[in-house]
Structure 1
Amino acid sequence: MDIIVEQLTQSNNKGEEFKKIATILLKSINDWPIEIITLEQFVNEVRYFIQNVHTKNNICFTLNRVNYSVNSWQAESLYGLQDVFEFYQDGISLYDIIKDILSKVKI
């Protein structure tokens, strides 16, 4: 999972669904308040921030209780990240989504 984030944009996989997912994911990564280099780093940051398994339900729960004056960048990132989950079955974790994306990346 140590793929560098920029490698997503260089992937030879040009399927429309993949492009949509990668675009949403990259925007969410760019919205995070610190520089994210790898997908693994992003997954770890999200898990640490929400303090739970990073499923869509847990992200929604976190967004309902987040202090926007302190964590506006994280909230913006999580709001965007919710859209990635629309391409997958309920209950899937961000970790499993990233594993799926990595299985499709051909660099």
Structure 2
Amino acid sequence: RAAAELDLSSRERTLRQRELEIEAEVRTAVRELERIRKSIELQKKGVEVAEQQRRLATLRYQRGLASNFDVVDAEGSLVVARSALVGLLTSYQVARVELLRVTGTLEVDREFEP
């Protein structure tokens, strides 16, 4: 009987430890998702600024106030900003799937339909 009680106690401790680990994983996943979401919002603004800079560079070039290099530079900055946004959107989806995984709600057949 004493051995059974010790075994039960050990299993309860193991279960509680696993519950704490899962809670920590969920908190981490939620924080990561929120961090990426905020970064996406900032990057969207960065894309808007880069688009405005490209428009201005193009207008200045058309009026003879800027060189073609300025337009190409602004276009390059826009490409970099858009690329960073795509990277963040991808990271967001990965983080979303991770949250589903740690909460036990990931349904592979449903989440990854072609």
TM-score normalised over the length of structure 2: 0.31
Structure number with the bigger relative contact order (C-alpha 8 A, sep ≥ 6) is 1
Q: Could you say which structure has the larger radius of gyration?
A: 2
TM-score normalised over the length of structure 1: 0.32
